[in-house]
Amino acid sequence: MSVGSFFKHPVAAGLDREGNLFEVSAYDLQGLNLIVGFKGAGKSHLAKTMLLDLTRHRAGCLVFDVNDEYSRLDVGRNGQPKPELEGLFVRLRPGEPLKFPLSDIEPEVLVNVMEALGLRDASLAEFSEIVGELGQNVLSLELLREKAEEVKTASVRGAILRRLRMLKDTGLIDDNLPQGQLASVLSQLKEGKTLVVNLKGLAKPAMRTAVQVLLSNLLNLLEARKLEPIFLFAEEAHLYIDRADIEDMV
């Protein structure tokens, strides 16, 4: 907290015209906030400055980082963690080390993921029926592949199998992990930590799959009151979040 701050939980937003520190209250950042401006205007710099103060306040933050700009904010020029931020940044890279079993994905979310991978019409309907019959708790890539092999229509069978291979190729799914892996990862937000999901360089299927699954698990935890409200930072959100998902989050 800055000396002489008016706020209980101040968040630095820059300097005023006289060069004095300009702050806002973390309380007033609740809801939906947009940082807009021309390229090079300092949008990301402002977001990172605000994130650091929110982390110092143990607010609990989830960051979708498309350019790998946030993962080392807690590291000083000497290469060591800043004392006031030590242990508060958790780095997650989809596929390495962020992996989860297919049973962590709700059936309707899995169907949405397959649609994002290009599954359409009769093939999507058939896949939805397969997933519905199996139920979330027993879902696995191998079981889905076996069920898809039983589909009589060759074109539908081939379309489903191709998308299952694409899902496997994202490197996100590990059915040897226990169910609840993602809930365990996200529970660190309760400790006031900042989770930085590094999306840089990911193929679009892997990026969209990781974001959709994380958001659906996050919403479940919030709705079940197993997690207090958090701050979500979505850099270049249009690349990986649909408008409907943003509305659900808000």
Q: Which of 41, 64, 87, 101 is nearest to 188 (CA)?
A: 87
pLDDT of residue 129: 96
Q: In tens digits, what is the pLDDT along the chain, a chain of 250 residues? A: 444 567 888 888 888 888 888 888 888 888 778 888 888 888 888 999 999 999 999 999 999 999 999 999 999 888 888 999 999 999 999 988 899 999 999 999 999 899 988 999 999 999 999 999 999 999 999 999 999 999 999 999 999 999 999 999 999 999 999 999 999 999 999 999 999 999 999 988 889 889 989 998 998 899 999 999 899 998 888 888 877 777 776 7
Residue 232: count of CB within 10 angstroms of its CB: 18
pLDDT of residue 12: 83
Sign of CA dihedral 205, 211, 214, 216: negative
Which residues, 6+ apart, have CB-to-CB distance to 111 below 8 Å?
124, 127, 128, 131
pTM of the complete model: 0.85
Which residues, 6+ apart, have CB-to-CB distance to 124 below 8 Å?
111, 114, 115
pLDDT of residue 148: 97
What distance in Å separates the CA atoms of residue 95 and residue 97, rounded to the nearest whole number?
Answer: 6
Which residues, 6+ apart, have CB-to-CB distance to 193 below 8 Å?
55, 58, 60, 87, 88, 89, 90
